[in-house]
Amino acid sequence: MHREASRRKRCLLLGVVVVVVAVAVLAIVLGLTLTRSTDHLKSTVIGRCETFLKKHTDVSRVNDCERIWGMFEEAYLGKDPCEVPAEAYDPLISSVTQHVICGTMLFWSKTKAMVHAFTNNRECLVTLEDTLLGFVFDELTWCSKKGSKETFTTDCPGWSECQNNPVRSFWIRASANFAATSCGNVSAMLNGSLESPFSSTSVFGSVEVTSLDPNNVGGLTILLVSKETDTTTCASSSFQSLRSALDPKIEYNCREVPYNRVENCISDPEIPCSDCL
């Protein structure tokens, strides 16, 4: 009987040891995973930043990639992932210097693939994603948790899951700044395949249009890219909503642009920009 009790005690002790080791291993693995998430995002951000500055030497001396990462991290780190307002990125926005030539700003809505295929081969027009911050954070996901010192790149709130999530707030703030600092005549590429190309709830409709400064922006031209089979034109009723949202001091224009023409300009960068849009 004494022998049986000893055996049970040894088994219990062994079970406790196994549980403790398992918990320790799990903690180590989880810690390494979290560290890798933070380190991976940081290396991606700084790597993209350095790539951008090497290409755009005019702003390379006035922007510091490590500082940009620090300001970016401060906006969301340790916060509930649904409680990061757009204003949290104000210090980051203010810390970056970007030079964009007046009259080259190009906005877009539901045309991301085409608009960036176009601007990637040309320098006549510039989208938000062609500026430093837009280039660095395009297609990235990030968040933290309340009281945490870690950055997560998975299991973060989706765009519409909560209004003040880190990614959505960043793009709203960056978009507002891109529009507010625009100057000259600007344009926006919209999708002519849609029945209602303009949406007042899109970032372009709810943030960028209303952030254009009439003291700096003379006109907005809609570039409605349409295929031969599309029936939507510049007469679409959705554009009435756009004109209502646009400051009356800013001249409004709309131009229907054949889809094939834009495709040809993407494949042949020798075609002058003036012949494309």
For residues 189 and 223, the answer to whether their CB atoms sit within 8 Å is yes
CA distance 233 to 213: 27
Number of Cβ within 10 Å of residue 33's Cβ equals 12
CA distance 201 to 198: 9
Q: Which two structure tokens, joined as six digits, stand for 195? A: 């029945």
Please say if 162 is a catalytic residue: no
What is the 8-class DSSP label of residue 62? Answer: S
Return left, alpha or beta for 184; rule: phi > 0 is left, psi -120 to 50 is alpha, else beta. Answer: left
**What residues does 181 pair with on adjacent strands?**
none
- Which of 102, 156, 265, 276 is catalytic? The answer is 102
- Which of 124, 183, 234, 273 is catalytic? The answer is 183
For residues 120 and 55, the answer to whether their CB atoms sit within 8 Å is no
Residue appearing with tokens 């029936």: 231
Closest C-alpha among 167, 170, 136, 164 to residue 154: 167
**What residues does 220 pair with on adjacent strands?**
186, 252
Q: Which helix (H) or strand (E) holds 258?
A: strand 251-258
For residues 196 and 238, the answer to whether their CB atoms sit within 8 Å is yes
Contacts of 1 (CB under 8 A, 6+ apart): none
Number of Cβ within 10 Å of residue 134's Cβ equals 18
Please say if 183 is a catalytic residue: yes
- 90 burial (CB, 10 Å; 0-12 / 13-18 / 19+) is middle
* Catalytic residue IDs: 102, 183
